[in-house]
A and B are shown apart, each in its own frame.
Chain A
Amino acid sequence: MNTETLVKQLCDINAPVGNENLAAEKIKSFFGPLCDKAYIDRFFNVIGYKKGTSSDPRKIIITAHYDQIGMIVSGYEKGGFLRISNLGGVDTKALLASEVIVHGREEVYGVIGAKPPHLLKESEITKNVKIDELFIDTGFPDDVLKQKVSIGDPVSIFSPVISMKNGCVAGKSLDNRAGVAALVLILKELQNVKHPHDIYVVATVQEETDLLGALTSSYALEPDLAVVIDVCHGDMPEADRAQCFPLNKGIPVAIGPAFHSEYTNALFEVAKKERIATQRCIEPGNPGTEAWAIQVSRLGVPTVEASIPLRYMHTAAELVSLQDIENAAVLVARYVSGDIFKTTEETD
């Protein structure tokens, strides 16, 4: 399976934050054939374990969250409509005229409509629409709809990933299935490599709300080192260039207090040796990724982060380069299969 197919298949899976139970088995099926053991923990984190060759192996976790932003049904409106609230950081600007799947007793397709523009008041034309003004049109009569959908059912955007020019793809949930795809590619890389240390790839839950999956899985696994793979902002017109990273111009590696400087330097060294381009991603405080939770797990975990630039985050137009995903995977695979602990401890 090529990277494009892998990414498309992963993005087709729906795991609205807090409802990863819908998807855990599907994610596990990608890890299973490439691991010594693949399992799902009580929070639906999906873990793939690959045993190291060392007699005294250390433990490395590589995380990428597999939850996605979405919505939750908050009420009914007469005429086959559903009211909604957000799950995670939804931009309502990008919801109008979207297609959705409601995960009810069965999957129910719908569209997010809005009042027609000619009926909008002046204030509504200039003010961004609020989520409580939006509704899903399911096309079902009310009584039928109530049998299919309950209040509290999660909702996913329906927007299959499309192939773009220059090796790019665009669609929903690339944040962070791009990262999960990298985990799968890392496992593939590790098939033919002798790696001394035990490696756990962890597809985590509930990153989009409070990093719950990172918190619980890092506590449970007690790693000696953590590598986080997540998307960062791609270059977009009108956006602050210091916070955005061009596509296909190198893997952004995070630098800042949340990241262990020595292990991060080692990551740059590996990149240099492997001739993989990098970019420096400056995070002076909370980077908004799982690194924030993992770093302070138990007695503290040295944490590094490799990113995949993604444009238009949290919309159905999320756009990434497949080459960036592959490069991130190769970089991290080489990094974790080396004798990473020896190098850094000598410099301590």
Chain B
Amino acid sequence: MMQKLAELTKLDGLSGNEQDVRKYIIQNLADKSLEHYTDNIGNLIVKGKTDGSSNLKVMVAAHMDEVGLMVNYITDDGKLKFSTVGGIDSRILIGQHVRVGKDKIPGVIGYKSIHLQDKNERESVVKLKSLYIDIAAKDRENAEELVKTGDYVAFDSEPVFFGENKIKAKALDDRAGCAVIMELLNEVWPFELYACFTVQEEIGLRGALVAANRVKPDVGIVLEGTTCADVPKVKEHEVSTVMGKGPSISFADRASIADRELLMHFFKTAEKEGIPYQWKTTTTGGNDAGKIQTSGAGVKTLVVSVPCRYIHSPVSVLDLNDLKNMLNLVSKALHTLPEALGR
């Protein structure tokens, strides 16, 4: 799973441009006999193996898309101005290496050197509109031969295994969830399992809605990478999750409130099996569960996440044990789900 995760993060799949991730998942499913289809907006839906012992229909979802940038203007001197795709902290952009467009033209995000900044500039945060991408084009004409407005821009950040069981990469949110679901598809389930690799989560949970409308599940489990602010100078009640303490289970966030029955079942499973877990201690953020829950006549949902430091940045970090425990918890809890729900 870890190697697959690393490979998944190498792929560029910004919202609306997820095809490389989708292709990778299809090509790397261990069981080639699984039925799968790609829907009208690009969601990949894979039907898991079932022994047919339960009439329950379960959707597990993880989004394929990642945050990044999009070229929106080319200047006379051949620099690329850009907008963000999804939520990006503009403070982290200066000095980053990026890849632009289909041809992955290498670029860097520049700002005039510190030597040339006045006092005010040295002390202020640079606004997004003052930043640009330099692809070493000679001028506008030369730049237009290489890229065009509307091109997606992804961070150039190779996965690195480091520290004690850590990985640094871009797009851990939510290739981590994708990697876990790929593992779940190796198992035989008592119910109908629909693995949904969704699109456009980062710009408003758009893929999950369409996928849920098609699948019409009884239960939706969303596997996410979530904020982990257990870093220096952050107050204890603000950390959301703590790295290394296991997958987090959310009571609620801005988009959905967990189904109490599912919540208790996952909690009891973790306790019974001795799997490390934690409660997400903040209710910020939102994810695909918001749309799945309100689809059709309503769906019971739960969000299980792997804590992810520096999320939405090219140097996101997660603990590999958290990911293993997430897979273990979700797998165990799903196998006993029909019993728990009396189905």
A97 and B123 form a contact (CB under 8 A): no
Residues in A whose Cβ lies below 8 Å from that of B108: 164, 170, 312, 317, 319
CB distance from A275 to the nearest CB of B (A): 21
Residue of A80, A140, A166 near B137 (CB, 8 A) is A166
Residues in A whose Cβ lies below 8 Å from that of B134: 170, 311-312, 317, 319
A98 and B116 form a contact (CB under 8 A): no
Residues in A whose Cβ lies below 8 Å from that of B227: 116, 118
Q: A239 at interface (Cβ–Cβ under 8 A)?
A: yes
Complex Cα spacing A25 to B126, Å? 40
B106 and A163 form a contact (CB under 8 A): yes
Complex Cα spacing A59 to B130, Å? 48
Given A97-B310, A111-B317, A237-B79, check contact A316 B95 (CB 8 Å).
yes
| Surface stretch bound by B, among A40-48, A87-95, A257-265, A278-286 | A87-95
Residues in B whose Cβ lies below 8 Å from that of A1: none
Complex Cα spacing A77 to B231, Å? 9
Tally of chain B residues near chain A (CB < 8 A): 61
Q: B77 at interface (Cβ–Cβ under 8 A)?
A: yes
Residue of A78, A114, A126, A312 near B95 (CB, 8 A) is A312
Q: B313 at interface (Cβ–Cβ under 8 A)?
A: yes
Complex Cα spacing A163 to B165, Å? 31
Residue of A135, A139, A164, A311 near B231 (CB, 8 A) is A135
B162 and A109 form a contact (CB under 8 A): yes
Interface string of A290-331 (1 = CB under 8 A from B): 000000000000000000000111111101010000000000
B135 and A116 form a contact (CB under 8 A): no
- Nearest B residue (CB) for A91: B114
Interface string of B231-255 (1 = CB under 8 A from A): 1111000100000000000000000
Q: A342 at interface (Cβ–Cβ under 8 A)?
A: no
Interface string of A63-88 (1 = CB under 8 A from B): 00000000000000111110100000
Given A164-B136, A165-B137, A233-B113, check contact A97 B284 (CB 8 Å).
no
B132 and A93 form a contact (CB under 8 A): no
- Nearest B residue (CB) for A321: B136
CB distance from B142 to the nearest CB of A (A): 7
Q: A156 at interface (Cβ–Cβ under 8 A)?
A: no
Q: B35 at interface (Cβ–Cβ under 8 A)?
A: no
Residues in A whose Cβ lies below 8 Å from that of B136: 164-166, 168, 170, 247, 319, 321
A139 and B162 form a contact (CB under 8 A): yes
Residue of A128, A137, A311 near B125 (CB, 8 A) is A128
Residues in B whose Cβ lies below 8 Å from that of A118: 227, 284
Complex Cα spacing A98 to B97, Å? 10
Residues in B whose Cβ lies below 8 Å from that of A159: 95, 97
Residues in A whose Cβ lies below 8 Å from that of B91: 93, 96, 114, 117, 129
Residue of B95, B160, B233, B317 near A315 (CB, 8 A) is B95
Residue of A133, A170, A237 near B97 (CB, 8 A) is A170
B166 and A81 form a contact (CB under 8 A): no
Q: B51 at interface (Cβ–Cβ under 8 A)?
A: no
Q: A221 at interface (Cβ–Cβ under 8 A)?
A: no
Residue of B94, B124, B142, B238 near A166 (CB, 8 A) is B142
Q: A56 at interface (Cβ–Cβ under 8 A)?
A: no
Q: B115 at interface (Cβ–Cβ under 8 A)?
A: yes
CB distance from A208 to the nearest CB of B (A): 12
Q: A238 at interface (Cβ–Cβ under 8 A)?
A: yes
Residues in B whose Cβ lies below 8 Å from that of A37: none
- Nearest A residue (CB) for B130: A238
Given A126-B124, A137-B309, check contact A99 B315 (CB 8 Å).
yes
Interface string of B303-343 (1 = CB under 8 A from A): 00000011101110100000000000000000000000000
Complex Cα spacing A261 to B114, Å? 30
A111 and B168 form a contact (CB under 8 A): yes
Complex Cα spacing A129 to B136, Å? 28
Main secondary structure, interface of A, reads loop
Interface string of A127-169 (1 = CB under 8 A from B): 1110001010111110010000000000000010011111010
Residues in B whose Cβ lies below 8 Å from that of A109: 160, 162-163, 168
Complex Cα spacing A168 to B95, Å? 16
A162 and B162 form a contact (CB under 8 A): no
Residue of A89, A95, A117, A312 near B110 (CB, 8 A) is A312
Given A119-B238, A316-B97, check contact A93 B110 (CB 8 Å).
no
CB distance from A142 to the nearest CB of B (A): 11
Residue of B116, B156, B164 near A140 (CB, 8 A) is B164
B110 and A311 form a contact (CB under 8 A): yes
Residues in A whose Cβ lies below 8 Å from that of B160: 99, 109
CB distance from A282 to the nearest CB of B (A): 15
Given A139-B162, A139-B164, check contact A119 B113 (CB 8 Å).
no
Q: B146 at interface (Cβ–Cβ under 8 A)?
A: yes
Complex Cα spacing A222 to B126, Å? 46
CB distance from B111 to the nearest CB of A (A): 7
Most buried by B among A125, A140, A165: A165
CB distance from B216 to the nearest CB of A (A): 34
Q: A194 at interface (Cβ–Cβ under 8 A)?
A: no
CB-defined A-B contacts under 8 Å, sample of 7: A93-B126, A95-B95, A114-B310, A139-B317, A170-B134, A237-B112, A239-B112
Using A96-B89, A236-B110 as known contacts, list a sample of 7 further A-B pairs with CB atoms less than 8 Å apart, ordered by residue number in A. Answer: A93-B95, A111-B315, A114-B231, A159-B97, A164-B107, A316-B97, A317-B110
